């Protein structure tokens, strides 16, 4: 009897444990079923076709299109000075004159001598037609005329040096001398800069060398003008690279009619390497697996399917799609970690 009673107790205990386990298992099973059927909250976006601009940024320095120092070619007193600092001058305009009394006198003297020698030359030419002995005298006179003519040309050149003119149109810099001062040969009088076009010199890594060509568009900004951009084009590419930095120097040209940009300015350069229409998606939509790229494309019934894509160029936040998607396709950009093919989604956010 006691043995039967003990077996009954064990049966009751086992049944009780099975019942308690069932009570714990049933809610979990229901939760798993709900999880299996619940939609996953994600954010999506559509494949867009829009311009893709690939560019490279660099720091550059402003350079005048033409820039020279106007110097005294010889030593003498300054008799005239026409420097309006910071003002525009035309090509050929007189900037300064040195005292040229001696030079003018020398030119006048040689002009008189040359005139007399030419008259004597004319008489000898007439005489040589009738007297053979006059030919040697004629030759000597021709030599004298040529020698005097050379001396006159040299004197005129020296006289011309006493007048300093602008070799091109531009803007005068600061005056370095005063009228009446005695200057030595090589003394800087002022500077002249052609600012109608400003060149910008900047360096680009050799990685981009094959992509850069003259005429490519670029823009520059400067701290003095905030977010205002100045447009220009690549004008020249150096034939040599810096062997230390492995960069190539590029020159750009910018129209500067308002003279807001100045030589020596630090300029932020953005060089546009490529600008074309391309099909693009957000970089966040990509799911890399080994050497391939995938996205989760949204189907008509709000389920997703993993789709392999071929990508092209990248730019911050966006990537070009070469194949695998069509314009207007919808892809998941956030919440990808919880997805697999066939899962139903619920769109949230923007």
Q: Give tens-digit pLDDT for 119-167.
A: 888 887 777 666 655 677 777 888 888 999 999 999 898 888 899 999 9
**Which residue is listed with tokens 């003519």?**
149
Higher pLDDT, 39 or 324: 324
Higher pLDDT, 140 or 310: 310
34 pLDDT band (50/70/90 cuts)? very low
294 and 322 fall within a common domain: yes
179 within some domain: no
311 within some domain: yes
Measured over the CA atoms of residue 298, residue 301, residue 304 and residue 308, the dihedral's sign is negative
Residue-range definition of the domain harbouring residue 301? 40-50+277-347
348 pLDDT band (50/70/90 cuts)? confident
84 within some domain: no
Domain boundary residue, one of 276, 297, 328: 276
236 and 282 fall within a common domain: no
Domain boundary residue, one of 137, 161, 185: 161
Dihedral, CA atoms, 262, 264, 269, 271, nearest 10 degrees?
90
231 and 267 fall within a common domain: yes
297 and 269 fall within a common domain: no
Looking at residues 198-202, what average pLDDT do you find? 95
Crossing angle of helices 101-128 and 134-161, in 10° steps, is: 160
Domain boundary residue, one of 276, 308, 339: 276
Helix (H) or strand (E) holding 135: helix 134-161
Centre a 10 Å sphere on the Cβ of residue 188 and count the other Cβ atoms it contains.
Answer: 13
Higher pLDDT, 322 or 32: 322
Centre a 10 Å sphere on the Cβ of residue 42 and count the other Cβ atoms it contains.
Answer: 23
Partners of 51 in beta bridges: 277
Both tokens of 329, joined, read 């396709």
The CATH number covering residue 204 comes to 2.40.30.170
| Contact indicator for 204, 242 with CB cutoff of 8 Å | no
The CATH number covering residue 326 comes to 2.40.420.20
74 within some domain: no
247 within some domain: yes
244 within some domain: yes
At residue 264, does pLDDT exceed 80?
yes
312 within some domain: yes
45 and 116 fall within a common domain: no
Distance CA 340, CA 309 (A): 16
Structural domain tally of the chain? 3
**Which residue is listed with tokens 């298992």?**
25
């Amino acid at each position: 009897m006691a043995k039967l009673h003990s077996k009954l107790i064990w049966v009751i205990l086992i049944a009780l444990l099975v019942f308690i386990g069932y009570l714990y298992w049933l809610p979990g099973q229901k939760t798993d079923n709900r999880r299996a059927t619940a939609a996953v909250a994600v954010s999506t976006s559509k494949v867009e076709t829009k311009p893709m601009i690939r560019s490279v940024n660099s720091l550059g320095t402003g350079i005048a299109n033409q820039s020279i120092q106007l110097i005294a070619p010889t030593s003498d007193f300054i008799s005239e000075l026409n420097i309006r600092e910071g003002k525009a001058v035309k090509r050929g305009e007189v900037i300064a004159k040195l005292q040229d009394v001696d030079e003018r006198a020398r030119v006048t003297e040689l002009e008189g001598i040359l005139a007399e020698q030419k008259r004597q030359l004319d008489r000898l030419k007439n005489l040589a037609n009738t007297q053979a002995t006059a030919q040697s005298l004629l030759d000597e006179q021709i030599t004298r005329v040529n020698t005097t003519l050379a001396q006159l040309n040299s004197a005129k050149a020296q006289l011309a040096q006493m007048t300093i003119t602008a070799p091109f149109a531009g803007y005068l810099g600061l005056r370095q001398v005063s009228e009446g001062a005695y200057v030595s040969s090589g003394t800087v009088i002022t500077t002249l800069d052609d600012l109608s076009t400003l060149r910008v010199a900047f360096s680009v890594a050799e990685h981009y060398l094959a992509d850069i060509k003259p005429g490519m568009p670029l823009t520059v900004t400067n701290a003095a003008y905030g977010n205002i951009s100045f447009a220009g084009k690549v004008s020249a590419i150096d034939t040599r690279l810096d062997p230390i930095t492995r960069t190539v120097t590029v020159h750009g040209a910018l129209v500067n009619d308002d003279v807001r940009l100045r030589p020596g300015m630090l300029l932020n350069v953005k060089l546009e390497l490529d600008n074309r229409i391309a099909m693009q998606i957000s970089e966040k939509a990509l799911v890399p697996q080994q050497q391939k790229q995938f996205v989760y494309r949204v189907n008509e019934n709000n389920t997703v399917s993993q789709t392999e894509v071929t990508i092209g160029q990248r730019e911050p936040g966006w990537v070009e799609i070469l194949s695998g998607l069509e314009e207007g396709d919808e892809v998941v950009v956030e919440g990808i970690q919880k997805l697999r093919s066939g899962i139903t989604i619920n769109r949230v956010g923007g």
